Amino acid sequence: SGIKIYGITKNPNDDNYMIVMQYTKQGSLRKLLDSKYNELDWNFKIVISYYIANGLNTIHEAKLVHKDFHSGNIVNENMFSSYITDFGLCKPVSQDSSSDEVYGVLPYIDPVVLYKKGKEYTQKSDIYSFGIIMSKVFTGYPPYYDIPHDFNLATQICLGLRPEIKCKVPQLLLDLMNKCLDAEPQNRPTAKELASTL
């Protein structure tokens, strides 16, 4: 199930449209992990990863690519119910990415997208982003929190830099995360495979 959308309205001050959505008590996954990480056990981390993978699978089964998938675009009604939001950049798989612009939050962007300057957003790009989300769920730290988010970081990501995992992570989960972060998109699992593995 997804987050409820109650309606749409237009801001009378600037004519921008706004969507009225279900309030989520825990806020974004980023906020939840920042405030409650030390209270979370591995069962929680696996369950929340499953719900996120399952939501991503729903998007991918609809033949869509999210294109801006990161921990700030995942919200939690409670400690386990996660919903993917912000579909402003979401596009059909069949739609050509002819733009030279790269969108998203740098640490979560597929290195292939960075290298090809925005022309290669695919469902496998979302899988890469999921791998980065897993690193945040596993460690509690934002990816590359100690490195400026600039052109140099983008270059290092293209050259193979991945978030450092400084805590103990069960090997099966670490292997799954690393498959998502593989430099070769064809080696990454599908969202369906992620959900069934978790």
Q: Which residues are catalytic?
A: 68
Alpha carbon distances (Å) from 61 to 34, 57, 82: 31, 6, 18
Report which of 27, 137, 33, 133 is spatially closest to residue 77, judged by C-alpha positions.
27
**How many Cβ atoms are within 10 Å of 68's Cβ, its own excluded?**
21
Q: How far is the first Cα of the chain from the last one, in angstroms, to the nearest whole number?
A: 18
Residues shown for the chain = 198
Contacts of 8 (CB under 8 A, 6+ apart): 17, 18, 19, 20
Tokens of 25: 């008590």
Distance of CA 53 to the CA centre of its chain: 9
Query: What span, in angstroms and rounded, lies between the C-alpha atoms of 128 and 183?
Result: 9
Please give the single-letter amino acid code of residue 195.
A
